């Protein structure tokens, strides 16, 4: 059976960075304080604002998000369909959208692995 991957799922996860999201001055300050074109600062930004959001999703939904990112990265997608529909608080434009998504994927995998370890230890 072929699984259907939806780019919209990625966009939904990244809504935390969107201007249309509920106004939160602290969140906005954190976002503009990070260089989204620096892998380390981007990972820090994800850790601060996206990690908790990721764990709101069910286990199956988290696995699907990771699989969706892998799918679109393997297809060579440039993720314009995600970034063109997002107005963010980022100070700079994302120069390499695929790299942004690769950093996101690494972070999501790390969060999931941490969750798996905690589940195993319980």
The whole model's pTM is what?
Answer: 0.90
Q: Report, as ranges of residue numbers, the positions in the chain whose pLDDT lies below 70.
A: 1-2, 116-122
Q: How high is the pLDDT of residue 21? A: 82
In a domain, 114, yes or no: yes
Into how many domains does the chain fold?
1
Residue 108 lies in a domain: yes
Residue 90, domain extent: 24-121
Whether residue 7 lies inside any domain: the answer is: no
Residue 18: φ, ψ to 5°: -80, 140
9 occurs within a structural domain: no
Domain assignment present for 13: no
Is 37 exposed, middle or buried, given 0-12, 13-18 or 19+ CB atoms closer than 10 A? middle
Q: Which residues contact 19 (CB under 8 A, 6 or more apart)?
A: 87, 88, 89
- Which pLDDT score, from 0 to 100, does residue 1 have? 47
In a domain, 87, yes or no: yes
Identify whether 17 is part of a domain.
no
Query: What DSSP element (H or E) covers 106?
Result: helix 97-121
Q: Is residue 93 in some structural domain?
A: yes
Q: What mean pLDDT is reported for the chain?
A: 91
């Amino acid at each position: 059976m072929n699984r259907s991957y939806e780019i919209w799922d990625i966009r939904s996860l990244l809504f935390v960075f969107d201007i249309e999201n509920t106004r939160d001055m602290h969140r906005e300050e954190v976002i503009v304080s990070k260089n989204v074109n620096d892998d380390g600062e981007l990972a820090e930004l994800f850790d601060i604002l996206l990690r908790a959001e990721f764990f709101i999703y069910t286990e199956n939904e988290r696995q699907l998000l990771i699989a969706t990112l892998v799918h679109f990265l393997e297809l060579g997608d440039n993720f314009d369909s995600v970034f063109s529909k997002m107005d963010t608080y980022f100070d700079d434009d994302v120069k390499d959208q695929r790299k942004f998504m690769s950093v996101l994927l690494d972070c999501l995998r790390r969060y999931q692995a941490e969750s798996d370890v905690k589940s195993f230890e319980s």
